[in-house]
Amino acid sequence: MGVFSLGKVVLGSLFKKPSTLMYPVIPREWEERTRGAVSINVDGCVLCGACARACPTNAIEVDRKGSTWQIERMACIQCRGCVDNCPPKCLEMDQKYTEPGGEKVIDKFDIPPRKKAAKKDAPKKDAPAKEAPKKEEAAKEAPKDEAPAKEAPAKEEPKAEAAAPAAAAAAAPAEGGLQCDVDSCVFCGACAEACPVSAIEVGDDSWAVDKDTCIECGACIDQCPAGCLSMAEAAPAEAPAAEAAPAEAAKAEEAPKAEEPAKAEEAAKEAPRAAAPVDPRLEGYVADVKEALVKEFGLSEDDAAAKLDKSGLADQLKAFPYLMNKAAKETAERIK
């Protein structure tokens, strides 16, 4: 029986794939989410240091002055924190593991210098000034007979034009990205020196950032001695001003109509309160308090009546009848 069983296994193996891997002849196929070794694209690195700050084992070291980036492979725990926190996305997690060895491996890479971003030309401010004389000349050349007809709409146009910028400013979303509290800034220039892409410019009393160049790495925030820098998120855009204006006008028209039923309801609620019956015990309780003021505390009839009027005891008892549960002497002692 043993020979037949062995022959069955041998014959079955001839038509099946081997259970072991044919490595290294056939390379292994790694699973899709395998975390192997961290790799870097040196051309995309800006030496911001965000990866080093995110590394929980301090396996990454960034030298901005020496323009180098290095990683200690034996200290790396493949957590992917550096890859997820890299602003320029120049780090990747390869599926291949680091080759085994008896010595600590430190891979060091030279980062090529980056060219400073070219400054954008400021928009020309002379264009509106040049157009103004042309409008004045056109107004002078217009026939005198047509002037009265054009004056009426001209007076109404500035109101619409003045309202449009205000509405547009209200609807404009709050700008996100790097923010600076200029009142707290000391204009030391530490943020500009720390910026890996030269997006910040600091003058004697000025601070500016190019939002298009900034990669939001946070290096400037860490180096700011005054703590006046922060990273803000952009607010979602609101509806256009042209569409918002009619809606606000409609609400303004509906507001008086909506207030009328509300006032009627309030009046209806207050009416039963005004007509509510007075507790029959009230007059007797007030008289007992007045008597206690005279007998127990030696006040005259006139002084006791004045004390009662000044304290507003009757109104309090109407609003809160449960106060009559207290002894008259106790209430008299409170208002004497």
Nearest Cα to Cα of residue 278 among 314, 325, 306, 326 = 314
| Fold observed for domain 32-110 | Alpha-Beta Plaits (3.30.70)
Could you tell me the pLDDT band of residue 303, with boundaries at 50, 70 and 90?
confident
Q: What are the residues whose beta carbons fall under 8 Å from the beta carbon of 317, sequence distance 6 or more?
A: 279, 282, 285, 286, 323, 324
- Predicted confidence at residue 20, as pLDDT, reads 74
Query: Per mean pLDDT, which range of 65-69, 317-321, 330-334 is the poorest?
Result: 317-321
pLDDT tens, residue by residue, 6-48: 888 888 888 877 777 677 777 777 777 788 889 999 999 988 8
Architecture of domain 177-232: 2-Layer Sandwich (3.30)
Are 167 and 245 within 8 A, CB to CB?
A: yes
Average pLDDT over every residue of 153-178: 54
Instruction: Name the one residue in this structure whose structure tokens are 């043993």.
Output: 2
Tens of pLDDT, residue by residue over 167-185, are 544 444 557 789 999 898 9
Residue 5 has pLDDT above 80, yes or no: yes
The residue extents of the domains of the chain are 32-110, 177-232, 281-335
The answer on pLDDT for 143 being more than 80 is no
Residue-wise pLDDT for 200-217, tens only, equals 999 988 999 998 889 888
Tell me what pLDDT residue 107 has. 92
275 pLDDT more than 50: no
Q: Which of 278, 313, 108, 90 is nearest to 82 (CA)?
A: 90
The residue count of the chain comes to 336
DSSP state of 158: H
Residue 210: half-sphere exposure toward Cβ, Cα within 13 Å = 17
Are both 32-110 and 177-232 of the same fold? Answer: yes
- Binned at pLDDT 50, 70 and 90, residue 137 comes out as low
pTM assigned to the model: 0.44
